[in-house]
Each structure stands twice: as C-alpha cells, then as structure tokens.
Structure 1
C-alpha cells in the first residue's frame, strides 16, 4: 500500500503555531523584518517554522517579486576543470552564506549551448550572472546577457561595460622576481608561457612585473635571459637547459607557470644541478597537485580563484558605487623550499 505524502506546512500553519499574523510570518521568512518585528517574535516564528519543517515556495516568491534566489554561473570549462573549479567553489560558498543557489553551466565555447544556457537562466529569473573563464583572457559578453546584471571572473570584459575580477598578473610577476632579487640573485632569468606576440594578459602581465622588479632594483632587464614557451613541462625542460648552457648561466629562474617550473627542475637535474643550491626557481599558479609535491616544494604565486569569485558575487548582489570596471586581485606568494640565497662567486 502506497504511503500517503505528508501534507506540506503552509505559512498559515506557521502563523497559527507562533501565535502571530500571516503578514508577520511573511516579513520574518522573507528577511524584511528589521525594525518591524521584535527579536522575540522573530525567534518564535523561526521556531514554529522549524518545528513544522516549513519550506518557502521559492518559485512563487520569484514570480511575485520578479527575482529569485538563484545566480547563474556560465563558464567555458570551469566547473569541469579541477584547477579552475575553485572559482565555482568560491561562488557557491558565498551564495550559500547569503541564501542563494548557483545555477552552473559549462558551455565548452559552444555558442548554441551558451545561448541556451542564458535563455534558461533568464527563464528562472536569476539575480544575475557570473561569466567566468578557465584562463585569464579578454572576453566579449554575448548579446543575450543585455539587461541581465553580470560580472566577469578570471577574465576582462573587452568594453568595460561590467565589472571584471581577474588575477593581478603584473603584481604577481613583480612579487616572484622580487623574491629572487631579495635572496641576492642578480642573474634572474624568466621562461614565459606564451610567445612575444601573444596578447593574453597572463604572460604579458607576468613579464611586465618581472621587468619592473629588475629595473627598480638597478639590475636592469636583459633580453638574453628571457625565453618564450607555451607553458608545458617539455618547454620548461628545453628552455631551462638552454639558459643553463648558453653563456653565463643564471642563478635563478622565474617560470611563468608551475608546469614550466617542473620542466626546469628536470633540466637542472639532467645537468647534475640542484634546486635551490645551484639555481633557485619560482613558479606561478600554485597547482596543488604539483607545486607542493616537487622536491623541494616550489615557491610560487597562487591564483586567487576563490577570492575572485566571492568578490564578484558580492558585487553582483550589492553593486558598488562608482565607475571602476576592473578589479585586479592579488596573487599571494606561497613560499616553499625552491629559493636559496645566491652564492658569492669567486674568481
């Protein structure tokens, strides 16, 4: 015999149990009670709602108000990428804290899927949309988001029409190079993660920070100490070996990402050299499956995925006053064992 479904409690049931009006229950459960309902009455309403296992009808509330407790999260491959997935984690955590739910779709750069996702989110009357990228790039917002409150994360919106939250690449490159300079190194090389003609913000910013740190320290930029790769391990291996065997070898290498740094470790080992005794190495990204597991652990800059997402969602829920569209977020330095003081060279 089928079990009869338990009757769902109504707002009237809560009001009867709490001994208040339905209007008072509505004010309390919808968070509009400040200054209008005493703390004692609020506690009585909440206790009654808990006892009756009352659930608000979020869909009906969204129809009445024109807003829902949902926030859209549209990305290329963020939700399915372990590394960049911390963007979604950061957004979900703050959403939960503020009584919202994230509605997430990975589009894999398919325009039709993206259009369908936006249409679905509009039909659910989302509070707004977080438009995220797996890697830092400049993006054009789809026209279908016109009129929908939107923020961009881990990317920069091309026309500065909405707020963009992204890693401060230049400050990160500066911090990485400064870490090596402060350890006494003066021949500091860099292996970048893109070609000289690439327009991607990550490589451009990290190189600019490297140059600024060298210039400020009085060491000066030497193009002979820079190599350009694609950010993979094999490039780090090949280019680090080239740096160490061509002319006067550097005593430290700033690698544009952690995979390149792993390749540099392998190159130094193949030459009978050791990190950091013979050459210090700093990476970028703080990939948790890689950086702490190298031997020695890699000093690197962490991409602020969770903070970017939280700041973006916070601004979506409570838009800031002013015209600032770009919000570069600091990349924290994570120190491990790959940097040592430079050895004094003797004649």
Structure 2
C-alpha cells in the first residue's frame, strides 16, 4: 500500500526558499518591522504556493491571542432552511473581514450548549453570535460573559448583552399601512400567538397594526382581531370566523405570518371567494418556499435575517465604535399580487 504523503512543513518552505525557518514565520505572520526584503518575501510565498503549505491558524491564535474564528451558537438555526439565512449573513460578513464562523446547533439541550461553548472557548474565538430560531427573550449563558457576545433574532432577558432583532412593530405597521393605502378601512388581523403570550413577535405586530389604524383615523375594533398559533389550520379556521358575517365582512386581513395567510387563502377559496378580488391578504415572514407560490403570490413583510446577522458580527468585531444595547432592524414589504384596491360601495 502506498504511503500517505507527508504534509509540507515550515522547514520545507524554508529549504525551498533558501531562508531560515524564522524568516518564513515572519513572512507568514506578517510581522511588522521585521525588515524582510521584498524579494525574500516573494521567494517565501512562491515556495508556500509550490508546496501547498498551510499555516496552523489555531496555533497562531494561541500565540498571538488574536483569533480569526467567530462562534455561532444557535438552537437549530443552522439546520433549518428559513432562519438559516442568519448563518448565511454571519458567514458572509465574517468572510469579508477575514474571519471564519464556527457554528454549532444545540437543539435547546443545555448539556450540548455547554459543551459547544466550552469548545469555542478552547479555540479562543474572537466573539460569539448567540442566535435563536424565533424572536424571544433568552438567557445568555454565564460562560459567555468573558467574550464579546451578541444575541441575534432574540433579546437578552437580562439586558446585558447587545441584542439584534426584527422591528416587529414597524413590520406590523408597514403591512397594515399598505392595506390602508389601498383604500381598505375594515381590516382584520390574525395574530400568531395567544392574547396573553409575552413573545415579542405577536406583541409587536399587533402594536404596529393598531398604530397604523390610529394614524389613519380608523377606530380599533377588537372583533376584527383573532388569536391563533401561527399554523395553517388556525388561518383557515379564524378566517372563516371573520368572513362568517355576510353583512360586515373585512375587506382585508393582515396575517401574523405566511402560514396563517396560507390558511386564509384556503378559507376564502372554500367560501367561493378570491384573493384579492373579495379580500386582500398581507402576510409576515416572506417564507420563500411558500409566499411566492400561493395563487396569487402573497404580499408579505420580510424578516431581515441576513441584515441582523451581519450587524451582529460587526458588533462582535467592534466595528463602528460603541453600540446601543438594542438594535431593532427594519422589516421591509415584499409586494406580490394579494392586495387590490378596496371596492367603493355603490
């Protein structure tokens, strides 16, 4: 059996370039003031390329204390397609700044989270992005207090760690304002959590809905608000409830997420009604595997996953100086075909 070829060492590079191992180290670690001649640097780097030599980044970070690794600890963000954009945004911003993301999903298992953080600390990561699958208040582990840490898509319950999260209220306002601008006045809302829930998403989206109505001089009508759990079945059931009155039906519905909106589409179809001719619909989330493929395509509000993650990495790296503790990121409207102008009564 053929013997596996040994990896080239720094000594091999030195021999190929005709310099000392110390000179190779100075060149590869880009040590300022080393007075290595430019021609010597070229010989060393040429030898590195010819031999396929790779430096030991971990060993270098141990020597210098300056790691190029950024930890990314999440419940299940990396393995879920929708919020996986958080990881994408973090990786892109890290790469642009010469860093690499070390990512671990913990699936909300405390023992796995503790092991993951311990591993990251052993690699001397530059900082940690602590991410959540959905917007909630989280308790940041004490073990992260000694390294720059930023919570993303959630808020630190203790208010100690900087938090980057979607501006839910502005998103709810934007969705409702779009319906108002289309001439609708009787606008219902189906929220994604029970009335007594303390999750920021539903609270913020409802607050935005109410603010838009108030700003437009439209009285808030509690009978037009329903509380579900963000699933298709609740969208179906609650839309049927809202449309049950033939005399005073809403002409538009703001659904607290896209799955609820899908249920609303199904309910309207079952009643012989069409979107948007008989009822306009706006969703929230912009799930790209769902919203564009409804018929018609769903107008919705996009969660800014990539923007949130990029901001989190920038804060970890200390870019832009001091930062406030709370960083709400704007949610933008994605226009498709589910909103029509309100019909004028004859």
Q: Assess same fold via TM > 0.5.
A: yes
Note if contact 1:15-1:25 (Cα within 8 Å) is conserved in structure 2: no
Q: Report the Cα offset of residue 94 of structure 1.
A: 2.3
Q: Report the Cα offset of residue 70 of structure 1.
A: 1.7
Kindly indicate whether residue 122 of structure 2 is the aligned counterpart of residue 94 of structure 1.
Answer: no
Q: Report the Cα offset of residue 321 of structure 1.
A: 2.8
Distance change in 2, residues 1:189/1:89 (3 Å): same
Note if contact 1:14-1:52 (Cα within 8 Å) is conserved in structure 2: no
Take 1:339 and 1:39, find their aligned partners in 2: how far apart are those partners?
64
Q: Which moved more, 1:269-278 or 1:215-224?
A: 215-224
- Corresponding residue for residue 324 of structure 1: 324
Take 2:292 and 2:111, find their aligned partners in 1: how far apart are those partners?
40
- Corresponding residue for residue 181 of structure 2: 182
Aligned residues: 345
Moved over 3 A (4+): 14-17, 19-49
Give unpaired runs (5+ residues) of structure 2.
none
Kindly indicate whether residue 71 of structure 2 is the aligned counterpart of residue 109 of structure 1.
Answer: no
Take 1:103 and 1:49, find their aligned partners in 2: how far apart are those partners?
26
Distance change in 2, residues 1:338/1:35 (3 Å): farther
Q: Report the Cα offset of residue 146 of structure 1.
A: 2.0
1:226-253 superposed Cα distances (whole Å, 9 cap, x missing partner) = 1111100111011111111135111110
1:13-33 superposed Cα distances (whole Å, 9 cap, x missing partner) = 26973x888777656544565
Distance change in 2, residues 1:221/1:125 (3 Å): same
- Corresponding residue for residue 236 of structure 2: 237
Note if contact 2:137-2:154 (Cα within 8 Å) is conserved in structure 1: yes
Kindly indicate whether residue 156 of structure 2 is the aligned counterpart of residue 171 of structure 1.
Answer: no
Q: Report the Cα offset of residue 75 of structure 1.
A: 0.9
Distance change in 2, residues 1:292/1:4 (3 Å): closer
Take 2:67 and 2:231, find their aligned partners in 1: how far apart are those partners?
43
Note if contact 2:13-2:24 (Cα within 8 Å) is conserved in structure 1: no
Q: Report the Cα offset of residue 11 of structure 1.
A: 7.3
Distance change in 2, residues 1:41/1:157 (3 Å): farther
Q: Report the Cα offset of residue 336 of structure 1.
A: 0.5
Distance change in 2, residues 1:83/1:238 (3 Å): same
- Corresponding residue for residue 224 of structure 1: 223
Take 1:42 and 1:214, find their aligned partners in 2: how far apart are those partners?
67
Matches within 5 A, 1:16-165: 17=17, 26=25, 29-30=28-29, 46-165=45-164
- Corresponding residue for residue 277 of structure 1: 277
- Corresponding residue for residue 263 of structure 1: 263
Take 2:142 and 2:207, find their aligned partners in 1: how far apart are those partners?
33
- Corresponding residue for residue 315 of structure 1: 315
SS in 1 for 2:126: coil
Distance change in 2, residues 1:248/1:318 (3 Å): same
TM-score by length of 1: 0.91
Note if contact 1:170-1:206 (Cα within 8 Å) is conserved in structure 2: yes
Give unpaired runs (5+ residues) of structure 1.
none
Take 1:168 and 1:32, find their aligned partners in 2: how far apart are those partners?
44
Take 1:282 and 1:11, find their aligned partners in 2: how far apart are those partners?
64
Take 1:343 and 1:36, find their aligned partners in 2: how far apart are those partners?
78
Note if contact 2:191-2:256 (Cα within 8 Å) is conserved in structure 1: yes
Distance change in 2, residues 1:323/1:317 (3 Å): closer
Distance change in 2, residues 1:88/1:7 (3 Å): closer
SS in 2 for 1:5: coil
Q: RMSD of the TM alignment (CA)?
A: 2.5
- Corresponding residue for residue 340 of structure 1: 340
TM-score by length of 2: 0.91
Take 1:28 and 1:188, find their aligned partners in 2: how far apart are those partners?
66
Note if contact 2:315-2:323 (Cα within 8 Å) is conserved in structure 1: no
Take 2:211 and 2:132, find their aligned partners in 1: how far apart are those partners?
27
